[in-house]
């Protein structure tokens, strides 16, 4: 769950406590292109005040207008759809004729929004099941996965803590990396015991710890909603932390460095009590190949790979830094070889200065 969803639940719970008529809107299904994913939420108060988002803005405007004109008089949840016709798709700003299905839920104490919010803030992963006929809800522990399930009678949504991102190293690259990562709504922890780096390091919204990285990995109890990236270039800091991380279900574990350094790192890790499968999970050199050179560009490259892993997106091996650079070197070698074949005079003697 991202910080925006927590804001929606917080405001919704407060309005319920203030006895304000409130409508909770949840995206339960999309077809075609849609600006917001399934599970996205919006909360509207009886005076039209709103928090959250379920579209690019046009659907929100329509819902707010309805509430201001008619108030909130629903006694039980109902389903509405936008974008069924081409005219509606154009009116409501749904790209490519997309369609979106929403659940409109009049919330009250029985909605248990405050209980749901408290569970999420306590880093619990829970499922909330809404009875579409009565409006009653149940909250229970959920599997480690997000999702929305609607069978016509009940709506089940899974809510959990924010994705966590452990960054090992507080250098210049880490600064750019963390600034972008916080914008992507990760809960970011930076670990660096080196005084020369940690003393003057600060990024708003990021937690800095000076403990040894492997101790931090163990204490964080990494789960499938966590990622680790090593950015120090120092095996004494990176290797032990990566060793511990590769034993966890973290969805992404990566390391900065050249192809040669990462090959050497994998050999070192195999000397620990790790299986070849566990070592194979390490992504290094980290990132997608975008020709990045500057620290900011490298940060974008790595976060693109992390985001793809988080969203379950598979990409061609040719997009990895290692494979792309290997392919580039082969192309360069082929080009040089063909150039020499075309340009070298027949009298070239093998081993001479002009031989390629």
Contact call for residues 106 and 131 (beta carbons, < 8 A): no
Same structural domain, 153 and 178: no
Q: Please report the pLDDT score of residue 345 as a whole number.
A: 46
76-80, 84-88, 198-202, 240-244: the lowest-pLDDT one: 84-88
What is d(CA 305, CA 314) in angstroms, rounded to the nearest whole number? 10
Same structural domain, 16 and 39: yes
The DSSP symbol for 57 reads S
List beta partners, residue 102. 27, 80
Same structural domain, 18 and 35: yes
H/E stretch holding 101 reads strand 99-107
- Tell me, yes or no, if the pTM score tops 0.85: no
Kind of pairing, strands 148-150 and 154-159? Answer: antiparallel
Q: What is the largest CA-CA distance in the chain?
A: 95
The stretch 313-339 carries a mean pLDDT of 64
Q: Domain for residue 183, yes or no?
A: yes
What is d(CA 324, CA 34) in angstroms, rounded to the nearest whole number? 32
Tokens of 95: 């790209």
How many other CB atoms are found less than 10 A from the CB of residue 33? Answer: 13
Q: Domain for residue 29, yes or no?
A: yes
Question: For residue 26, what pLDDT band results from cuts at 50, 70 and 90?
Answer: very high
Range of the domain at 10: 3-159
Q: Please report the pLDDT score of residue 340 as a whole number.
A: 47
What is d(CA 40, CA 167) in angstroms, rounded to the nearest whole number? 28
Same structural domain, 30 and 152: yes
Same structural domain, 155 and 179: no
Same structural domain, 104 and 179: no
With 90 as the cut, is the pLDDT of residue 330 above it?
Answer: no
Q: Domain for residue 310, yes or no?
A: yes
The DSSP symbol for 353 reads T
Same structural domain, 14 and 110: yes
Question: For residue 162, what pLDDT band results from cuts at 50, 70 and 90?
Answer: confident
Same structural domain, 180 and 151: no
Alpha carbon distances (Å) from 316 to 240, 289, 308, 344: 30, 11, 12, 37
Give me the sign of the Cα torsion angle 174, 179, 180, 181: positive
Same structural domain, 124 and 236: no
Kind of pairing, strands 226-230 and 99-107? Answer: unpaired
H/E stretch holding 165 reads strand 164-168
Q: Domain for residue 170, yes or no?
A: yes
Tokens of 310: 């988080």
Tokens of 339: 């150039």
In whole angstroms, what separates CA 271 from the centre of its chain?
A: 32
Same structural domain, 131 and 200: no
Provide the domain count of the chain. 2
In whole numbers, what is the pLDDT of the chain averaged over residues? 85
């Amino acid at each position: 769950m991202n910080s925006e969803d927590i804001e929606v639940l917080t405001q919704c719970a407060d309005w319920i406590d203030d006895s304000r008529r409130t409508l909770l809107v949840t995206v339960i299904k999309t077809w075609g292109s849609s600006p917001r994913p399934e599970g996205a939420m919006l909360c509207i108060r009886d005076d039209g005040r709103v928090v959250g988002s379920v579209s690019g803005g046009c659907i929100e405007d329509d819902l707010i207008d309805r509430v201001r004109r008619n108030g909130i008089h629903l006694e039980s949840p109902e389903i509405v759809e936008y974008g069924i016709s081409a005219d509606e798709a154009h009116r409501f700003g749904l790209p490519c004729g997309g369609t979106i299905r929403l659940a409109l839920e009049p919330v009250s104490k029985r909605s248990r929004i405050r209980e749901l919010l408290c569970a999420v803030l306590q880093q619990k992963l829970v499922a909330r099941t809404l009875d579409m006929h009565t409006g009653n809800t149940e909250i229970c522990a959920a599997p480690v996965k997000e999702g929305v399930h609607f069978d016509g009678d009940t709506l089940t949504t899974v809510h959990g803590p924010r994705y966590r991102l452990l960054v090992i190293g507080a250098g210049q690259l880490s600064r750019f990396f963390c600034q972008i990562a916080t914008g992507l709504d990760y809960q970011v922890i930076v670990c660096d015991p080196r005084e020369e780096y940690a003393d003057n390091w600060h990024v708003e919204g990021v937690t800095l710890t000076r403990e040894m990285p492997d101790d931090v990995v163990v204490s964080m109890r990494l789960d499938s909603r966590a990622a680790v990236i090593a950015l120090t270039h120092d095996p004494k800091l990176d290797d032990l932390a990566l060793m511990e991380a590769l034993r966890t279900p973290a969805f992404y574990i990566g390391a900065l460095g050249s192809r040669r350094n990462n090959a050497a790192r994998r050999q070192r890790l195999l000397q620990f009590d790790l299986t070849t499968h566990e070592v194979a999970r390490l992504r290094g050199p980290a990132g997608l190949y975008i020709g990045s050179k500057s620290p900011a560009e490298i940060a974008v490259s790595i976060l693109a790979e992390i985001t793809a892993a988080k969203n379950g997106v598979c990409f061609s091996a040719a997009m990895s830094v290692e494979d792309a650079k290997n392919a580039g070197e082969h192309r360069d070698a082929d080009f040089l070889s063909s150039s020499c074949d075309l340009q070298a005079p027949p009298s070239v003697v093998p081993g001479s200065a002009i031989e390629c």
